[in-house]
Structures are given as C-alpha cells and as structure tokens.
C-alpha cells in the first residue's frame, strides 16, 4: 500500500521539465503527464507545446500556476491533494521550486502530511555547474541577483568571501551590469562562466574573468543565461612569527584575552597554537626597536 493510500491523500509530484530539448524528458515524466488528475503548469501554452512534442495527451485538469497567482492557487491545489487527487507541478524548464513556483505548495503539503515526490530530470543549475570548468565539490545557488543596482551591489558584497562556487540566473539584458558589479565586488580577475541556451541548438559557454565577460556581454546577449562564478580564494595565512605576534597584540587591544587571541589567530592562519604562543613569547623577550 502506498503512503498516499494509507493517508487517504494524493501525492504532490514535482516534475523536472527539459531546459531545451524535449527529448531530454524522462519516461516517468511522459507517463505522469498522461495520467495526472491535476497538472499545475507555470505556462499552460508551453505545457501544450511540450506534450505535443512528446506525443502525450493529458487527461487531467490543467491549471496555470505561476508567480502572480501562486499564493491564490495553492489552497485549491492543496484541497485536491487532501481529496485524494495527485497533483503534478511543472514549470517552463527545470525543477519546480528552483526560482520557479512550487515551494509554497510543497510547504503546505508537508504541513498536512501529504506525500511529496520528485520526477528527477534536467536542471540548469547543475548542468551549468558541471560544464563551467569551475570546482563542483562545493557550490551554492543564489538565484537571480537583485535588479536594482544598489541592492545588487550590497548582495554581491555579502558574497565576496563565499568560498564555494556560486550559480546565478540572470536576464540577458542585465548580464553586463551584473558582471560589472561582480568585478567590483569580487575582483576583476574572479573566474566565471556564462552558460547560454544550455542543451539547445545554439548552446554557448563563455569562460574567463568576470571583467572580461562583462566586456563581451556589453555587445548584447540573447537566450536563457546561467552564470557560474568561482568562490573566493583562501586567504594567505600569516606565517612570519613577528606578524603572528602583532596579530595577537592587535586582537588583545580590542579586549580579547591573550589565550583566546592566540587560539583565534592560529585557527585563522592555519598554524599550530604552539607556534603562535612561541611567537608571542619571543616578541615579549625582544627589546623594542
């Protein structure tokens, strides 16, 4: 017996849609589109095009579910789930909930004990990440940067020290301005990759420093953009004993106890506490210049 049957509810299905080529759709997606009693689509016209390309005929009720009506439509979709109907959520491309509608319905379903599952598939975030040539072992997704220049600059300044590879979405007409802001916040030489029209006929990946990419983007860019930016390099730690001792002294002047200051400086610079302690001791024994 399925969890839905046990609970007497339907299941919320989050369906990953192709980000470019219809043939990237999974067999599970095709079957689910044909069988789902309710389909909540970000754009019903795009859904019709996708099902036509896939040769699938939907039999359930299709409703629009996009940013502007997500709040209003969520309670009705939750009612459908509680009445025992499966609800499939599909966005224009990629996975629902990733800078697209879906999160609110997931939260509502979870709160009511409704099962939630995913039909895995294409994602612009991970596709761009692996093709970027930048480190993939640790990354974070930052969505769309703020549109207003001041807010964008402040948000990027907050990310300047982020050590993980960062993935952003951006509109093509704002790409040059965003890359300029990244050059100011992260440094002109921070490595990045602009991934355009992923999986589509005119797929393009431009790799380089953010300032170089900003110059390229000023001529105009078209298509869906995913931007991957390298994380902040690890700061070069202090190693010279005199510098370590001076750093401890500076920390002590702010009111931090010496023992704590030694531990902090050792951790921040990746050196043993004993080395920092010895440096402080040597500095105290040395006559002032």
- Structure confidence by residue, pLDDT tens digits, 127-147: 999 999 999 999 999 999 999
Class level of CATH domain 3-122: alpha beta
Longest C-alpha distance within the chain, in Å?
88
Quick one: pLDDT at residue 2? 47
Mean pLDDT calculated for residue range 56-82: 96
Looking at residue 288, its pLDDT comes to: 58
3-state secondary structure of 60: coil
Contacts of 265 (CB under 8 A, 6+ apart): 238, 244, 247, 248, 251, 276
Give me the chain's average pLDDT, please: 93
pLDDT in tens, 70-118: 999 999 999 999 999 999 999 999 999 998 999 999 999 999 999 999 9
Per-residue confidence at 238, pLDDT binned at 50, 70, 90? confident
* Mean of pLDDT values over 161-189: 96
Give the start-to-end residue ranges of the domains of the chain. 3-122, 125-229, 241-285
Alpha-carbon span 110 to 12, nearest angstrom: 10
Asked whether the domain spanning 125-229 has the same topology as the one spanning 3-122, the reply is no
pLDDT of residue 94: 94
Contact 170, 213 (CB under 8 A): no
Please write the tens of the pLDDT for every residue from 265-289: 988 888 899 999 999 999 888 765 5
pLDDT of res. 92? 94
For residue 264, pLDDT over 90 is answered with: no
- For the domain covering 125-229, report its CATH number: 3.30.950.10
Which pTM value belongs to this model? 0.78
CA distance 99 to 122: 14
């Amino acid at each position: 017996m399925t969890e839905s049957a046990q609970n007497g509810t339907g299941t919320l299905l989050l369906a990953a849609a192709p980000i470019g080529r219809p043939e990237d759709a999974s067999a599970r997606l095709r079957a689910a589109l044909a069988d789902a009693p309710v389909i909540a689509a970000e754009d019903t016209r795009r859904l019709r095009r996708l099902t036509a390309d896939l040769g699938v005929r939907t039999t359930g009720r299709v409703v629009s579910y996009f940013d502007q009506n997500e709040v209003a439509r969520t309670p009705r979709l939750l009612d459908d789930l509680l009445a025992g109907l499966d609800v499939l959520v599909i966005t224009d491309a990629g996975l629902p909930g990733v800078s697209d509608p879906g999160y609110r319905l997931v939260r509502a379903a979870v709160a009511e004990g409704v099962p939630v599952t995913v039909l895995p598939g294409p994602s612009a975030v991970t596709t761009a990440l692996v093709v970027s040539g930048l480190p993939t072992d640790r990354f974070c997704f930052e969505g769309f940067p703020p549109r207003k220049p001041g807010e964008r600059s402040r948000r990027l300044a907050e990310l300047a020290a982020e050590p993980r590879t960062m993935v952003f979405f951006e509109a093509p007409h704002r790409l040059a301005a965003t890359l300029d802001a990244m050059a100011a916040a992260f440094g002109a030489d921070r490595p990045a990759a602009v991934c355009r029209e992923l999986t589509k006929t005119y797929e393009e990946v431009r790799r380089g420093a953010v300032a170089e990419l900003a110059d390229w983007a000023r001529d105009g860019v078209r298509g869906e953009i995913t931007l991957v930016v390298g994380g902040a390099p690890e700061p070069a730690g202090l190693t010279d004993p005199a510098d370590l001792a001076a750093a401890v002294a500076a920390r002590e002047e702010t009111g931090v106890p010496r023992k704590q200051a030694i531990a902090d400086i050792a951790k921040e610079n990746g050196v043993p506490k004993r080395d920092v302690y010895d440096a402080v001791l040597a500095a105290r024994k040395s006559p002032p210049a």
